[in-house]
Chains A and B, each alone.
Chain A
Amino acid sequence: MSSETPNGGTPKPAIPPPAKKDPALNISQRGDRLYTDNGLHKWFAISSLLLFVFTVWMIVDDYNREWRRYQRGFTRLSVLQTELDRQAAAGAIDVAAVNALSAEIEAARVRIAENAATLSEVESRLEALNDEFYSTNQAYLFARAEYDVERYDYEEAVANDPENAEPLRVIAENRLADINQNLEDVERLQIAIEETTTELDSYIGERDRLSSERDGLVAEATQLEAAIVTLDPGLIRTSIRNAPILDFMNPSETVNQIQLQNLHYDAPFLQVPRVDRCTTCHLGINDAAKDEWQQPFTAHPRLDVFVGADSPHPMDGFGCTTCHAGLDRAVEFSRAGHVPDNAEQQAAWEDQYGWYLDHFLETPMLPMDRIEASCLKCHTGAGDVPEAPALNMGRDLIRTYGCFGCHNMPGYEEVRRVGPDLTTIGGKLDPEWVKKWLADPRAFKSEARMPKFWFNSNNGGPEFEARNNAEITAITEYLFSRSQDDPLPAAAPAGGDVGRGQALVESVGCLGCHAVGPIPDDPARTQHRRRFGYNLASQGSKTSADWLYNWVRDPRAVWHDTNMPDMRLTDAEAADVAAYLVSLTNPEWEAEAFPELDEAALDEVTLEFLRTGSTGIQAQEALAEMTLEEKIMTTGEGLVARYGCFGCHVIEGFETAQPIGTELTQPGSKLLNQFDFGFLDIEHTRTEWYAAKMADPRIFDVDRVKRPEELLRMPDFGFDEEQVGAIVMILTGLVKDQVTPDMRNDLTADIEAGRGLVAQRNCRGCHEIEGAGGDIRSTIADQGLWPPLLNTQGAKTQPMWLHSFLQEPGEETLRPWLSARMPTFYLDQAEATVLGKYFSAIDNAPYPFIDTAIATTDESLTAGRELFELAQCNLCHPAGDQMPDRDAADLAPDLGLAAERLRPEWVEDWILDPQAIAPGTRMPAFYIDGVSQLPGILDGDTPGQLEAFRDHLFLTIGNGERAEDN
């Protein structure tokens, strides 16, 4: 501390430093205080300076948010882009035209100047007229107001004071006369003004017209120039508008948000409306012109489907986090819950944004390859979701592999168990095959859907071998002991031919649902629907010709609930098919034998079941008294319950047993702390856990110490990476978030029900429906033999015909010369109705009552006959008993059936443009852009010709009903 200098400028000898540090020596100078005023001032100054600095720092730090940088960048780019557009617009201006106009304007201006005196006189006359008009018009309007008052006074007097009414009437009538005079004056002036304006126009009108024409030529560039000024009003203005504290008024930088009142963010114990602030940085998200701008300004892909105001998912109604997840109100990169798609992106983000995974956020954004999961929130129906291939694959897989057998899942409550009925296993299989099958189903059939329970990652070691074999033997013996072996309905007749059988399998339509051996890829279409039925390779190593004969002849007689339809094979054909299938064997598989039962290992397993409900000693005693047979039965029954075999198969005694798996009603919202990640080194997120689980369901047992009966039980389905991703999509998509009913897809119940049934019966294995399917076409080289496209089936066929065809497709065949056939699916009335309604609904066609009576004229019928002959329809189309001399593959459908089968208006649409209805069809077009290529008949009138075609088809060929003339 410095000291005072009482003696003015006299320098004082320096006080030795140690004395300064000793307060006792300075006590006289400070008096009784422990501080000096000067010292205090200094500290005060320093701390207030610090306070000032920190306050400024705080405001600056609070103000300079990440998002402002993006908004400034976006504005800058918008200005640049607008400037480029302006330059382009300016470049596109027809300079010559503008110059010519300018010259004309100049000439007009000169002419105006020459007549300046007259012009000025006209202008002043017009001005005077306008003035007069104003005052006269005012007088008129006031008079009208007065008149209204006086009329009211009079009418009131009439009602309340009739004696004094008469004078009031006179006053009002006098006023009316004034008004009429005023009105006349006003109108006279209006006419005068009009005349004078026209006169003025004759002098300056040309100049004005030329000017506006010139403005029109440069309008775009001018508007863009103005737009630039609006975007960038200059640094000073922008800085003041956006300055801290001042920015409450009208800042150009602002947090944008989409409020979604009906959607909620689910915080613990609290539901708050969603407020999506993503558009604060994603500024170009709804602007198709910004599709190539860099992030975060890039436009959303497919604005016709997402985000766009006219899309089914407009931004204002759906927001962003509804589909993408993440923290709705965050405006910082990591806090918003961005999740990288891959390690490369993660590294880039860490570098660029300092990205980290917020572990406290339960709903981070879905990576782009998992985004389809969100579709499930609204698209809850059974049908495919457009544009979501992985999600649809996931649904297919769940339906195919029957996850709902062990796990309660929403939407699958009524679905049949996916595996075959095991109550008649004895008639179909032999125990040795079943044991080998259970040990490794995919060793027999690479695409086996039966999962692998034994020899997996947590029970595959050599120490498990004897035990696994004992368990497999016990289950097999148990199942066969419970089998009710009804004798097969018939024995296979001798004489089945392998070659004929193979030809049948390849031609009648089996390959729509089945494959024989590996399925080659086809770039033209997917092939997964051909895995709907079991792969037929090695069928001979599995079961007998007798069983196969009965099965292909009438599947429902063997297993009532099967999905396999009746192909309507004759007995001889069934025998051929059975002979072919039996010839498909796997000698390697047959050569291997299943190991003998190790009784000690069996005892160990039996003991586990005996110990439940009794002491170890009691269990030991009970075991000692059991025969081998009893041990096997006890163990087999216990294992069926432990592994939940009844989830997929009907097993006697377990018909009503509860599924054994974890409930999966909302697996996408399961809290992260409820997952057991074991000792696995993976990212602790829901998707990673599900992906690891689906790839190897026993993986979380790694490094754990467990007793055999405590090991994880979920079997291994052998899913590949794509399949794992598809199933994880479904699991992460089943969330607790509620959406409002109006957000759900507006498909009618008819369409949903139809799509469900189409998937259940695998109609798309053969047919293309709603633009997808027809997998079987990859096995048929000749397009003429392809099953029909059903894309416009609802608009095409009559409801009654379709209904009966679906139920009894064998009654009336459209192309009897083909060996491929629509099988009998045993659809009941309700199911056939579901399909009829579905096809009609997707085409907006009336259902079920339609009018097929045709109103026509004799002239039209004659023209129809001529058209048929000219277009030579009979070259390809049979009509009744008239059969063209062609290969089967070159024949078109029988026109004799058209009248009872087709909708008349569809026939006209079809003939007008076949390619529009069935792209690639072999039916030639006779109308190009609506112009008839068949002139000379009905003067080439297209609508008339189409009607004539229809009339001939329905009335002359089809003998249909002719509407009575009105």
Chain B
Amino acid sequence: MNSQRALGLALALTLAAAGCGGGGDEFSLPEGAGSGGAAPTGPAYDPATATASIAGSILFEGDAPEMPPIQMSADPYCLDAGAGTREEAVMVTDDAKLRNTMVFIRSGHDTGLFYAPPAEPVVLDQEGCRYIPHVFTMMMNQDITFRNSDNTLHNIHAFPMVNMQINVGQAIQGMETTDSFTIAEGPFAIRCDVHRWMNSFTAVFDHPFHTTSGDTGDYAINVPPGAYEVVAWHERYGEMTGSVTVAAGETAEMSFTYSEPAE
């Protein structure tokens, strides 16, 4: 009896010591284990909160370089349709403002929000063997419609670094093709491989705070009140940045001045 009781005690003790040894409590699940791994999409951005505004001009100092005429002899159609076209890299208005400059917010906006892409597509037209507009901005997942208004073969070859390259041929006048870029990325070129002189520049954003200086050299962006880093980008003269703080209902003035760099 005694020995049985001792064995029973021993077993019980061992069970208690080993079985209840526990362990493994120091491990924990990775952050965000419960969200199923999907990227968190914040609350939707409400455009009505953009009660402030950043506006200004892209100024050009000094004499504007003269743009050379484009040699279009490679395609008889262009020779005719695009007669007199000059290169569009540097275009200065009569009041010394630089056209075709992108202006956008780099930081300061609420990155936790979800910014829906606009429903209406950006249109890139090909007319007279040049791209219209020459510089434009767009949002990721926003549709972009390429239109060929010329009666000759064009191809639209976009050269992004991050997004997939697009290279579509349009042989028929009036043809439209729609595509989109799915990742935000900095400025890149769109070219036509058939007509080498044709180029256009765009950038893809994950927010709606971007525009160009267009034909006038002025710009305006509506933003929620806050402090922002504003960037201007020009295809030849590159990037300039500035900081601005703007309160509700106010317009902050933010102008950039470019000039032809000395040789």
Where the two chains meet, the residues of A that have a C-beta atom closer than 8 Å to any C-beta of B are 52, 55-56, 59-60, 63-64, 68-77, 80-81, 84-85, 87-88, 239, 242-245, 292-294, 297, 870-872, 875-876, 884-887, 890, 914-915, 919-926, 928, 933-936
Docked-complex contact A887 and B196, CB < 8 angstroms: yes
**B26 at the A/B interface (Cβ < 8 Å)?**
yes
B11's nearest neighbour on chain A, judged by CB, is A245
- Complex contact B171–A870 (CB within 8 A): yes
Is A919 within 8 A of B169, CB to CB? no
**Who on chain A is nearest to B19 by CB?**
A239
The answer on a CB contact under 8 Å between B18 and A293 is: no
Determine whether the beta carbon of A71 is less than 8 Å from that of B24.
Answer: yes
B73 to chain A: closest residue by CB:
A885
The answer to whether residues A875 and B153 also contact, given A52-B10, A60-B14, A77-B27 and a CB cut-off of 8 A, is yes
Distance A935 CA – B176 CA, assembled complex (angstroms): 13
- The interface of chain B, by Cβ under 8 A from chain A, is 6, 10-11, 13-15, 17-30, 33-36, 73-75, 152-153, 155-157, 165, 167-172, 175, 177, 193-194, 196
Is the pair A73, B19 in contact by a Cβ cutoff of 8 Å?
no
**What A residues does B171 contact at CB under 8 A?**
870-872, 926, 933-934
**Chain B residue contacts of A921, Cβ below 8 A:** 167
Complex partner residue of B168 from A293, A872, A887, A924, CB under 8 angstroms: A924
Residues on A with C-beta less than 8 A from B14 are 56, 59-60, 63, 243-244
A-B residue pairs in contact (CB < 8 Å), sample of 7: A74-B27, A76-B24, A242-B19, A870-B172, A871-B171, A920-B165, A924-B170
Residues of chain B lying within 8 A (CB to CB) of residue A915: 165, 167
**B23 near A73 (CB under 8 angstroms)?**
yes
Q: Is the CB of B17 within 8 A of A76?
A: no
Closest partner residue, chain A, to B192 (CB atom)? A924
Q: What is the chain B residue whose CB lies nearest that of A294?
A: B27
B interface secondary structure, majority: loop
Q: Tell me the nearest residue of chain A to B159, going by C-beta.
A: A920
The answer to whether A72 and B165 have CB atoms under 8 Å apart is no
Query: Which residue of chain A has its CB nearest to the CB of B30?
Result: A292
A60 to B34, CA, bound (A): 37
C-alpha spacing A886/B177, complex, angstroms? 27
Q: A56-B13, A890-B74, A925-B168 are in contact. Are A933 and B18 (CB under 8 A)?
A: no
Q: Do B165 and A928 have beta carbons less than 8 Å apart?
A: no
CA distance A71 to B19 in the complex (A): 13
Residues of B with C-beta under 8 A to A875: 74-75, 153, 194
| A885: chain B residues within 8 A (beta carbon) | 73-74
- Whether B33 pairs with A84 at a CB distance below 8 angstroms is yes
Contacts of A884 in B (CB 8 A): 74
Q: For residue A181, give the distance in angstroms from its CB to the closest CB of chain B.
A: 64
Task: Name the CB-closest residue of B to A935.
Answer: B172
Residue of B nearest to A83 (CB): B34
| Docked-complex contact B10 and A55, CB < 8 angstroms | yes
Known: A243-B15, A884-B74. A890 touches B24 (CB 8 A): no
| Shortest beta-carbon distance from A496 to chain B in Å | 33
Q: Work out how many contacts link A and B, with CB atoms closer than 8 A.
A: 137
CB distance from B150 to the nearest CB of A (A): 11
Q: How far is the CA of A219 from the CA of B168 in the complex (A)?
A: 47
Known: A56-B17, A244-B15, A919-B165. A76 touches B10 (CB 8 A): no
A243 with B19, Cβ < 8 A, contacts A56-B14, A933-B169 known: yes
Q: Nearest Cβ distance between residue B121 and chain A, in whole angstroms?
A: 15
Q: Is the CB of A886 within 8 A of B15?
A: no
- The answer to whether B17 and A60 touch across the interface, beta carbons within 8 angstroms, is yes
Contacts of A914 in B (CB 8 A): 167
Q: A242 — which chain B residues lie within 8 A by C-beta?
A: 19
Given A243-B18, A919-B165, answer yes or no on A297-B196 (Cβ-Cβ < 8 Å). Answer: no
**B9: min CB distance to chain A, Å:** 8
Docked complex Cα distance between A72 and B26 (Å): 10
Q: Give min CB distance, A284 to chain B, whole Å.
A: 11
Asked if B177 contacts A59 (CB within 8 A), the reply is no
Q: A239-B15, A886-B74 are in contact. Are A872 and B165 (CB under 8 A)?
A: no
10 A-B pairs with the lowest CB-CB distances in the bound complex, closest first? A73-B24, A924-B169, A924-B155, A72-B24, A69-B23, A922-B193, A872-B153, A73-B27, A292-B30, A239-B19
| B135 → chain A closest CB, angstroms | 22
Chain A residues lying within 8 Å of B34, measured Cβ to Cβ, are 84, 87-88
Contact A890 B23 (CB under 8 A): no
Set of chain A residues within 8 Å of B21, measured between Cβ atoms: 60, 63-64, 68
Tell which of A64, A88, A886 touches B18, judged by Cβ atoms closer than 8 Å.
Answer: A64
User: How distant is the Cα of A523 from the Cα of B13 in the complex, in angstroms?
Assistant: 66
Instruction: Report chain A residues within 8 Å CB of B165.
Output: 915, 919-920
Most-contacted residue by chain A among B29, B75, B175 (CB, 10 A): B29
Cα(A77)–Cα(B172), bound, Å: 61
Please name all residues of chain A whose beta carbon is closer than 8 Å to the beta carbon of B18 when the two chains form the complex.
Answer: 59-60, 63-64, 243-244
Q: B193 to A876, Cβ gap below 8 A? A: yes
Chain B residues near A920 (CB, 8 Å)?
Answer: 165
Among the listed A73, A871, A886, A919, which residue makes an inter-chain contact with B153, where contact means beta carbons less than 8 Å apart?
A871
In contact, A871 and B169 (Cβ under 8 angstroms)? yes
Kindly list chain A residues whose C-beta atoms are within 8 Å of the C-beta of B175.
933
Residue of A nearest to B17 (CB): A60
- Chain A residues closer than 8 Å to B156, beta-carbon distance: 924
Return B89 CB to nearest CB of chain A, in Å.
Answer: 18
Nearest chain B CB to A87 CB, angstrom units: 7
Instruction: Give Cα distance in the complex from A222 to B233, angstroms.
Output: 56
Listed residue (A75, A85, A297, A933) with the most chain B CB atoms within 10 angstroms of its CB: A933
Q: How far is the CB of A787 from chain B (nearest CB, A)?
A: 18
Q: How far is the CA of A105 from the CA of B27 in the complex (A)?
A: 45
B180: min CB distance to chain A, Å: 13
Once A60-B14, A924-B157 are accepted as A-B contacts, the answer to whether A297 and B27 lie under 8 Å apart by CB is yes
